[in-house]
Amino acid sequence: MSAYTFVIVSLLLSALFSGLEIAFLSADRFFVEVEQKKGSFAFKIVSFLSRKQGMLLAALLLGNNIALVLYGIFIPDLLSPLFAGIPAGYTLLALQSIVSTFIILVLAEFLPKSVFQSRPHTMLQRFAVFAWLFYILLWPFTYVLVKFSNGILRLLFKKHHIENEENILFTRHDLAHFFKEKYENSTTAAREENEIEIFKNAIQMETRRLREFIIPRTELIALPITAGIQELKKLFEESNLSKILIYRGTIDNLLGYVHVYDLINAPKDITSILRPIRFVPESMTASEVLRLMTKENRSILAVYDEFGALSGIVTIEDVVEELFGDIEDEHDTAENDNQEIVEDGKDIVASGRVEINRLNEVYEMHLPEDENYSTLSGLIFHRLERIPNAGELVEIEGYKLKIEHIEQTRIQKVRILEAIK
């Protein structure tokens, strides 16, 4: 390749590395998490790289320096004709340095950083695969670089750098920024409605218990610790989830979880990539859980009941939904059809996971509410004290509930007869 080609390629790479660096630092992490939970492949990559921010920035800096070295090697050949009349020496070297530095500052620093900083999410979405490929390509070198840097920090300043971030979440500032964007892009009427709804939710978060919005134990997707890596890969593909729970013996003995990105390093067994999970009581309030998750940088918690048995899990999206309303995530998408409420004549066909208070509020029904359950299936289980059969008719407070569809122990669809007056 000619010197022109090397210079152009090195400038493009340097511009991309510089732009991506500022884009990752400028991106709204809450927006990134929401988009990746909606199923965006690009933002799934961005979310993964954001959790490895130390390694990512090291890779971008290393890549940028490699590009600049190539640029420095070949740019003199291109500048030589411009200074043909100047004899070799310090004057020529100074002129070449000034011109080459100006080109770098404008084309590989100021311009790309301005563009990427003004539109960080768009640029990250476009160049996510590029960033991921270079992250993987440079990983062995950046790993050594980061380890060496951490050693110096510990030696000189007694600082301990955390390399294996659990899950870098968003801060209160990120939440506020997301709400501001949502607010500014809505109409006046929608703003007022959003304000009232969020204000209500914010008040309820202080009293709303964890048991009311967890993903119940019966709907958890998990594998035993003895399962093989191929079984794990297959379950990731079939479930379309980013995290799989791991247990020993029974689901009550939950050990932790595995993230789909942990498979990148080709692990030999599940134990080597198992991440610990924190247990919390279902009596915690939504606000307490949000504070805990933000403080400890966690995106998932296991929930136990008063007897110490596993009740289910809660994710950061579940908690944020309590404040901002529904955010479609991987659990919602996987079971989207089961979440609907459909009007069929005077009947209502609803998912077993639909909350009682939602049915009562929307359809002016009077189904009994209790702290022991919050969903339609919970109400049925509470009244029957057994697993119903498909097609079985259950009468509760004058309402006739027909079990339309049940899978093992999970009530998927319920028809409420003559519910619409």
Give me the amino acid identity at 34.
Answer: V
Residue 71 lies in a domain: yes
Q: Which domain holds residue 46?
A: 3-157
Would the pTM count as exceeding 0.75? Answer: no
Task: Please state, in angstroms and rounded to a whole number, the distance separating the CA atoms of residues 35 and 338.
Answer: 22
Q: List all residues 6 or more positions away from 352 whose beta carbon is below 8 Å from its beta carbon.
A: 338, 375, 376, 377, 380, 410, 411, 412, 413, 414
123 or 238, greater pLDDT: 123
Last-in-domain residue among 96, 124, 157: 157
Q: Is there a single domain that holds both residue 282 and residue 391?
A: no
Q: Is there a single domain that holds both residue 258 and residue 352?
A: no
Q: Is there a single domain that holds both residue 312 and residue 181?
A: yes
81-85: long-range pairs with CB below 8 Å, 24+: none
Q: Is there a single domain that holds both residue 344 and residue 304?
A: no
Q: Express each pLDDT in 2-15 by its tens digit.
A: 777 888 899 999 99
Residue 385 lies in a domain: yes
Residue 164 lies in a domain: no
Say which CATH number the domain at 412 has: 3.30.465.10
pLDDT for position 177: 55
Q: Is there a single domain that holds both residue 318 and residue 283?
A: yes
Tokens 């961005």 label which residue? 46
Q: Is there a single domain that holds both residue 355 and residue 221?
A: no
Lowest model confidence (mean pLDDT) among 112-116, 155-159, 215-219: 155-159
357 or 410, greater pLDDT: 357
Lowest model confidence (mean pLDDT) among 112-121, 138-147, 183-192, 342-351: 183-192
Asked if residues 391 and 406 have their Cβ atoms less than 8 Å apart, the reply is no
**What are 160's two structure tokens?**
């301990």
Residue 188 lies in a domain: yes
Q: Is there a single domain that holds both residue 67 and residue 194?
A: no
- Other C-beta atoms closer than 10 Å to the C-beta of 113 total 18
Query: Is the dihedral angle over the CA atoms 189, 194, 197, 199 positive or is it negative?
Result: negative
Q: Is there a single domain that holds both residue 318 and residue 196?
A: yes
Last-in-domain residue among 279, 294, 327: 327
Q: Is there a single domain that holds both residue 77 and residue 27?
A: yes
The candidate with the shortest Cα–Cα distance to 243, out of 345, 303, 331, is 331
Mean pLDDT value across residues 366-394: 83
Mean pLDDT value across residues 340-357: 85
How many structural domains are present in the chain?
3
Q: Is there a single domain that holds both residue 148 and residue 180?
A: no
Query: Pairing mode, if any, of strands 347-351 and 243-248?
Result: unpaired
Asked if residues 241 and 330 have their Cβ atoms less than 8 Å apart, the reply is yes
Residue 276 lies in a domain: yes
* φ/ψ (deg, to 5) at 161: -90, 135
Say which CATH number the domain at 181 has: 3.10.580.10
**What are 263's two structure tokens?**
């498979």
**pLDDT classification of 338: cutoffs 50, 70, 90:** very low
User: How long, in residues, is the chain?
Assistant: 421
Q: List all residues 6 or more positions away from 420 whose beta carbon is below 8 Å from its beta carbon.
A: 343, 345, 346, 347, 348, 363
Q: Is there a single domain that holds both residue 20 and residue 153?
A: yes
Task: Please state, in angstroms and rounded to a whole number, the distance separating the CA atoms of residues 229 and 310.
Answer: 25
pLDDT for position 225: 94
Q: List all residues 6 or more positions away from 319 whose beta carbon is below 8 Å from its beta carbon.
A: 213, 286, 289, 290, 293
Burial per residue of 328-357, b for 16 or more beta-carbon CB atoms within 10 angstroms, e otherwise: ebbbbeeeeebeeeeeeeebbbbbbbbbbe
pLDDT for position 204: 57
Q: Express each pLDDT in 296-311 by its tens digit.
A: 878 899 998 877 788 8
Cα 383 off chain centre by: 37
Q: Is there a single domain that holds both residue 347 and residue 323?
A: no
